[in-house]
Amino acid sequence: MSQIAYELRPATAQEEMYIAQRLRELSEEAIGEKVIFEPFGLFATEQGKIIGSAVGKIYLRWLHIDLFWVDEAHRRKGVGKSLMYKIEKYAVEAGLKGIEVWTQSWQAPEFYRSMDYEEFAVLPDYAPGRKRHAFRRTIKKAS
């Protein structure tokens, strides 16, 4: 048997794609259906400058927001809510099951609560003395 080597380093884009494909194949075998895994991005711009964005991925019919940001000068002016409404509209039109996002206690948990997102997990002391919060919104099918 050959000796196994272990390397601690950032993954290359090619390595990430390879691993994602292997996980997709495993998931498809387990659930018996094709797994969609694709990048997602929504950007709010003003005069060509990004002032807000949501970046993430669609995986297993859920939209996972990895990065959500609004420029400080545009906060509390509706940009964040507009981004979330557009994400929700996209998720409904794409037939997704829901939207999931994590945030820190010093960032935006109250924002997601105000948008009627369900908090489903809290990691205490994620950063010293701070919490990490997970929120989701399940998409209800039109009847």
For residue 21, tell me if it sits in a domain. Answer: no
For residue 2, tell me if it sits in a domain. Answer: no
* Residue 73 to residue 66: CA distance in whole angstroms: 22
Write down the pTM of the prediction: 0.85
> Band of the pLDDT at 43, cuts 50, 70, 90?
very high
pLDDT for position 37: 85
pLDDT in tens, 2-21: 899 999 999 999 999 999 89
The answer on pLDDT for 58 being more than 70 is yes
For residue 17, tell me if it sits in a domain. Answer: no
For residue 65, tell me if it sits in a domain. Answer: yes
Q: Is 100 helix (H, G, I), strand (E, B) or coil?
A: strand
Range of the domain at 54: 37-138
For residue 15, tell me if it sits in a domain. Answer: no
**Per-residue DSSP letter, 69:** E
Distance, CA of 65 to chain centre? 2
The answer on pLDDT for 51 being more than 80 is yes
pLDDT in tens, 63-81: 999 999 999 999 999 999 9
Distance, CA of 87 to chain centre? 11
Angle 124-129-132 from CA coordinates, rounded to 5°: 40
| CATH code of residue 110 | 3.40.630.30
For residue 125, tell me if it sits in a domain. Answer: yes
Q: What is the mean pLDDT of the chain?
A: 94
The answer on pLDDT for 143 being more than 80 is no
pLDDT for position 139: 93
The sign of the torsion formed by the CA atoms of 37, 98, 115, 46 equals positive
Mention every residue, 6+ apart, whose C-beta is less than 8 A from residue 73.
Answer: 51
In the chain, the number of structural domains is 1
pLDDT for position 117: 97
